[in-house]
Amino acid sequence: MTIQHTAYARVGLLGNPSDGYFGKTLAFSASNFAATVTLEPSESLVILPHPVHDPSKFASLQQLVERVECEGYYGGVRLLMATCKVFRAYCAAHKIALHHNNFTLSYDTNIPRQAGLSGSSAIVCAALSCLLEHFGVGDSMKVEDRPRVILTAEEELGITAGLQDRVAQVYGGLVYMDFDRDALQSTGNGIYTPMDPGLLPTLYLIYARNPSDSGKVHSTVRRRWLEGDELVRSGMTEIAELAVRGRAALLKQDFNTFSELMNHNFDLRRCMFGDATLGKMNIDMVETARSVGAACKFTGSGGAVVAFCPEGFQQVRHLKEACEKKGFILEPLIVGPSFVPPDLSC
Ligand SMILES: Nc1ncnc2c1ncn2[C@@H]1O[C@H](COP(=O)(O)OP(=O)(O)O)[C@@H](O)[C@H]1O
Ligand SMILES: O=C(O)[C@H]1O[C@H](OP(=O)(O)O)[C@H](O)[C@@H](O)[C@@H]1O
Ligand SMILES: [Mg+2]
């Protein structure tokens, strides 16, 4: 029997990247893009390379170099392998018995690669769902544990990342997340509150072919945070607070405040990471949106931005024109389905 699971892109709406630093975030899954993993029973355990994303054949030396310079050495195979490893480790630690039937895993994705839309964790998330179903152990891995398992797979590979992406992908819809230090230290998980996605205004995604390696982007700030750098420590605390205020603004449908918080989120990131790390094109996307008065910030660590036009339709038209001039792609964001029902009182 063939098993197939899908996970959507995610948009960090407010508070990111404080998820990696005991902060708070608001994020949602976006069904504009998805990764799909397929599992089929087979004699041996096989991980199939993707014909485009895991190339091993090139037209020329030049093409090989261009590919590596633009997208790095790696594709999704290592993500699938790491998912298998951490899945087995979780099952062993929780005394979950596994049968011995082998399988073949393959994947496909249209999430723009390394664009801060969590393409990496979408592949891991969908693969984990396939393994849970194949081994019939879905009830044994708690939903709140799954983001951590997905993150562990990427940490295995040395990818610096936080939990928010995985939470948005496992829970679906819009989620408010509190990465409370005590909760994380005692359970390994944050406190995740699904919210009503109907609270969100129409938001727009702007992106360009502009891959950025989230691990590389984060490594210096991570090191500075660990060393106790005052700017990074206080910046992260302030960014986390934006998620708290953003949640309150959404509940009140106060979109003026919401716009200010989005802009402030980007300004704080810029101050901590510096322009050279953020990248010229990424900054240009934000500034292009702001040139028409839209609020704007990164969806993740770079590559794509989320924009909000508080003044409505006319402003959206101006935003569209400004993006077209720069060659950026603009599209309305579609919030993905909620897999854990939102608590409508929150
Ligand atoms: N679209 C993709 N196809 C295959 N592998 C991918 C893709 N996107 C990311 N990866 C893998 O995940 C790693 C980390 O990607 P990351 O920088 O986190 O990108 P993203 O922002 O899309 O999550 C990459 O080095 C690569 O191994
Ligand atoms: O910097 C961020 O906002 C996020 O960066 C990573 O996500 P990515 O999609 O790979 O850019 C990281 O995994 C998140 O935890 C950060 O919030
Ligand atoms: Mg990633």
In 10 A of CB 98, how many CB atoms? 14
345 pLDDT above the threshold of 70? no
Query: pLDDT at position 72, please?
Result: 87
Contact in structure between 184 and 22 (CB atoms under 8 Å): yes
Give the integer Cα–Cα distance in Å for 282 and 293. Answer: 17
Q: Could you read off the pLDDT of 100-146 as tens digits, one per residue?
A: 999 999 999 999 988 999 999 999 999 999 999 999 999 999 999 99
Q: Identify the nearest ligand to the CA of 213 by its number.
A: 1
Topology (CATH level 3) of domain 3-197: Ribosomal Protein S5; domain 2 (3.30.230)
Topology (CATH level 3) of domain 198-332: Alpha-Beta Plaits (3.30.70)
145 among known catalytic residues: no
Mean pLDDT calculated for residue range 154-174: 94
Which helix H or strand E contains 40, and what residues bound it? strand 24-41
Nearest ligand 2 atom to the CA of 303 is 11
Q: Could you read off the pLDDT of 212-257 as tens digits, one per residue?
A: 777 778 888 999 999 999 999 999 999 999 999 999 999 999 999 9
Which of the four pLDDT bands, split at 50, 70 and 90, describes residue 346?
low
Q: Whose CA is nearest to atom 12 of ligand 2?
A: 161
Query: pLDDT at position 281, please?
Result: 93
Q: For 45, left (φ over 0), alpha (ψ -120 to 50), or beta?
A: beta
User: Which residue, chain included where needed, has tokens 């060659």?
Assistant: 327
343 pLDDT above the threshold of 90? no
Residue type for 49, please?
Answer: P
Question: From ligand 3's centre to the CA of 278, what distance in Å?
Answer: 15
CB of residue 120 inside a 6 A radius of ligand 1: yes
Q: Identify the nearest ligand to the CA of 20 by its number.
A: 2
Find residue 204's DSSP bridge partners.
307, 332
Question: What residue segments make up the domains of the chain, in order of their start?
Answer: 3-197, 198-332
Active-site choice (165, 196, 254, 267): 165
Of 36, 47, 120, the one to substitute when testing ligand 1's pocket (max ligand atoms within 8 A of C-beta) is 120
Give the integer Cα–Cα distance in Å for 25 and 118. Answer: 15
211 pLDDT above the threshold of 90? no
In 10 A of CB 44, how many CB atoms? 7
